[in-house]
Amino acid sequence: MIKGSSVDPGVIDLLGLLAYAELGSFFRLADDAVLAPSLRTRGELAGLAAMEQQHYSLLRDHLVGFGVDPEEAMTPFVRPLDAWHERTEPQSWLESLVKTYVGDGIAGDFYCKLAELADPETKALVEKVLAETGRAEFVAGQVRAALAKEPKLAGRLSLWARRLVGEALSQAQTVAVERPKLAALLAREAEENEEPTGLGDLAAVSRMFASLTEGHLARLSAMGLSE
């Protein structure tokens, strides 16, 4: 494993960002489990929460292996991620599920794009951590079942999903401004594709998210929602 100062600072930022995101996912899924309408659903969500905690541990250990303090790597992302969650506070259990699927999903696609420019070991770890492992199917199934009982919820949840994507882009732009080394990974990809851009260029972030539209539309369809 690469050690210390030889590690790309952008990769350290990516790992710190993802580690804090996974830690937050653990707490949110645990809270969702408490509010679930059935014992079976509680158990499913508790299992998903436990998996997020395991993912966090893998990322933390990877940072330690790089000779990096995990807390120091995560700290720059506490404020922007907490602000994102404050702006997108769900008003119901279903909204929370949609946030988990859509918000975390598009963010995960973004992280995977960044990981493509990291070292092979980090890339493999990020892909492992972000593998859906049944979560997508479970969440989408819960939303579809709720819509079958109350079809009128579809419009409100579709609007909610659209808002989540807009807030996710805003969050990414904020992080890019504050963490130019992380944004440099985006610039590097743009340069490889012969697109004119500069270090920390917000346009690179916007282009990255535009390329993820297909995955977002697929998630909406899986839940029975429309754009």
Q: Looking at residue 53, what is its pLDDT?
A: 94
Q: What domains appear along the chain, each with residue ranges and CATH number?
A: 7-223 (1.20.1260.10)
**Regions of the chain short of the pLDDT cut 70:** 1-5, 132-133, 186-210, 214
Q: Looking at residue 116, what is its pLDDT?
A: 84
Q: Looking at residue 30, what is its pLDDT?
A: 93
Q: Looking at residue 16, what is its pLDDT?
A: 96
Q: Looking at residue 20, what is its pLDDT?
A: 96
**Residues 149/224, Cβ–Cβ less than 8 Å:** no
**Cα distances (Å, whole numbers) of residue 155 to 51, 104, 220:** 31, 21, 12
* Helical packing angle, 104-115 and 202-210, nearest 10°: 110
Q: Looking at residue 52, what is its pLDDT?
A: 92
Residue 130 has which token pair? 């972000």
Q: Looking at residue 134, what is its pLDDT?
A: 74
CA distance 157 to 138: 17
